[in-house]
């Protein structure tokens, strides 16, 4: 028996009834989501600590506060976003009404990952609710404590005729994907993304894929090594390196490597103490499977900093690897942990060639005191996002779209981009029911004179009225 059919039928019927379309209903759902975040902040923080040993500061900043900010922005701008968007007209349509209407797709499926299980689940939900959709939420079963809070508590704050949380692992997700949805939003690995996309293709369902990849970080010789080290160490080991936009490797000259290593050791000690394992500011690997995978990567190249691990605690120290070969496993897969390889290049051109010979990353970083160097990296590469002389602070700006390109994903969200992603942009032209003589030039029998008049009439720059 299909465990999801009744739930999906209930949601579809609610959408068809028009229940989710009014601005008042959408705002009520967004306010409910905001109350959930405020009422259960401590519960969410405890769940995140149990799942990932996530520090309260990281939970507050990157999980709860950013999500609340998205809710607030959507509530503030909802009616503006929903308004029909007028478009320019040609002479032939001057007396008509032409506009874009933002309509909800219908029944939306959001599949989220375990590394930021609040943010990456609820930020897409904000866009889906604001756009007037019914939503099925599938949080990751790997971050089980957060999943439980989302499944048991969140539905109490939303209309359960229009919203549902489903639980389970890969088997249940596979069953869910056999159903037809009107939009699918997936965050996870490229490998699973291909599976989700194949399932969506069966129903010709539009999809957003927020994936990952190996994010390069180029460090120019013209840098203050301690400043670079502070920033790279912070955003590499944030959430214990389990961040899709974290730098996956550093490219720099041998000379800069010699200057950078002691600066990175200094930053690690200042941030996490002489014994990072006892630091309250460093999380843990999500589970045994991922710990074993990461421990295997510690054998690549040579450990220059860190390298310690404890299987019982799922602890891996902030680690820097040098003398790494391009063919080693640590350079063949997204690391997704507190390990950072440094590879040497002789020039900016070589670094750019290295980056461009690989799949397009979700994020790319460049550090230099020369604006020209940073701008060259930006101009001559492609990535989902780009950071010059800093880490992933662009994630705090809901005025910027977030999404990948190529192997790192397709589609974008955050702020109004989320609303647009979950909205069908319907082209509309409302013509006058009369004035038939004015439209006569388009009808047969055709003539050269009528052709000239018709071409003039459909030129988009004609704005007589």
Contact of 102 with 424, CB cutoff 8 Å: yes
Inter-residue contact 310 to 357 (CB < 8 Å): no
**Residue of 162, 217, 223, 244 marked active site:** 244
Comparing CA positions, the residue from 255, 115, 133 lying closest to residue 124 is: 133
User: What DSSP line would sit under 62-99, residue for residue?
Assistant: IIIIHHHHHHHHHHHHHHHHHS-EE----GGGTTSEEE
Of the candidates 242, 205, 188, the residue with the CA atom closest to the CA atom of residue 106: 205
Is residue 445 reached through a cis peptide bond, with omega within 30 degrees of 0 on the bond before it?
yes
Hey, how many other C-beta atoms are within 10 angstroms of the C-beta on 313? 12
- Find the catalytic residue in 147, 210, 300, 334: 210
H/E/C letters for each residue in 299-326? CCCEEEECCCEEHHHCEECCEEEECCCC
Cα distance between residue 58 and residue 12, in whole Å: 37
Task: List, edge to edge, every strand of the sheet that includes 249-252.
Answer: 302-305, 319-322, 339-344, 249-252, 216-219, 363-367, 385-388
SS3 for 131?
A: coil
Under 8 Å between Cβ of 387 and 365 = yes
- With vertex at residue 171, the alpha carbon angle to CA 169 and CA 176, rounded to the nearest 5 degrees, is 95
CB atoms within 10 A of CB 322: 18
Report the SS3 class of residue 104: strand
244 classed as catalytic:
yes
What is the Cα–Cα distance from 196 to 209, expressed in whole angstroms? 9
Could you give the residue numbers annotated as active site? 210, 244
């Amino acid at each position: 028996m299909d465990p999801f059919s009744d739930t999906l039928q209930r949601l579809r019927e609610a959408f068809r009834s028009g229940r989710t379309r009014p601005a008042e209903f959408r705002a009520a759902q967004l306010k409910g989501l905001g109350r959930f975040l405020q009422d259960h902040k401590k519960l969410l923080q405890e769940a995140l600590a149990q799942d990932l040993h996530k520090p309260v500061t990281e939970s507050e900043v990157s999980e709860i506060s950013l999500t609340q900010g998205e809710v607030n922005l959507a509530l503030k701008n909802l009616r503006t976003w929903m308004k029909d968007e007028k478009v320019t007209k040609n002479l032939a349509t001057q007396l008509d009404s032409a506009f874009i209407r933002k309509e909800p797709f219908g029944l939306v499926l959001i599949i989220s990952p375990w590394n930021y299980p609040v943010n990456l689940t609820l930020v897409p939900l904000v866009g889906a609710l604001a756009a007037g959709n019914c939503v099925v939420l599938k949080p990751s079963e790997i971050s089980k404590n957060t999943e439980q809070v989302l499944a048991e508590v969140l539905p109490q704050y939303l209309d359960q005729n229009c919203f549902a949380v489903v639980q389970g692992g890969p088997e249940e997700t596979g069953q869910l994907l056999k159903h037809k949805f009107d939009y699918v939003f997936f965050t996870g690995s490229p490998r699973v993304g291909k599976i989700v996309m194949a399932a969506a293709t069966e129903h010709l369902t539009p999809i957003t894929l927020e994936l990952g990849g190996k994010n390069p970080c180029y460090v120019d010789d013209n840098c203050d090594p301690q400043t670079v080290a502070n920033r790279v160490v912070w955003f590499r080991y944030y959430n214990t390196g389990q961040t899709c936009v974290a730098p996956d490797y550093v490219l720099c000259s041998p000379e800069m490597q010699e200057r950078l290593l002691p600066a990175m050791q200094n930053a690690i000690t200042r941030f996490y103490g002489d014994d990072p394992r006892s630091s309250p500011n460093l999380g843990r690997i999500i589970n045994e499977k991922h710990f074993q995978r990461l421990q295997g990567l510690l054998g690549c190249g040579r450990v220059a900093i860190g390298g310690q691990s404890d299987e019982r605690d799922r602890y891996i120290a902030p680690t820097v690897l040098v003398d790494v070969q391009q063919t080693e496993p640590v350079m063949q897969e997204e690391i997704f942990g507190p390990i950072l390889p440094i590879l040497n290049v002789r020039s900016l051109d070589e670094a750019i060639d290295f980056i461009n010979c690989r799949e397009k990353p979700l994020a790319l970083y460049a550090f230099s005191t020369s604006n020209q160097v940073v701008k060259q990296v930006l101009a001559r590469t492609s990535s989902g996002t780009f950071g010059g002389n800093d880490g992933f602070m662009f994630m705090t700006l809901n005025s910027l779209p977030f999404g990948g390109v190529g192997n790192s994903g397709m589609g974008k969200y955050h702020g109004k981009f989320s609303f647009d992603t979950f909205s069908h942009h319907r082209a509309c032209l409302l013509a006058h029911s009369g004035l038939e003589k004015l439209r006569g030039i388009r009808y047969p029998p055709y003539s050269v004179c009528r052709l000239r008049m018709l071409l003039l009439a459909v030129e988009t720059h004609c704005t007589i009225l």
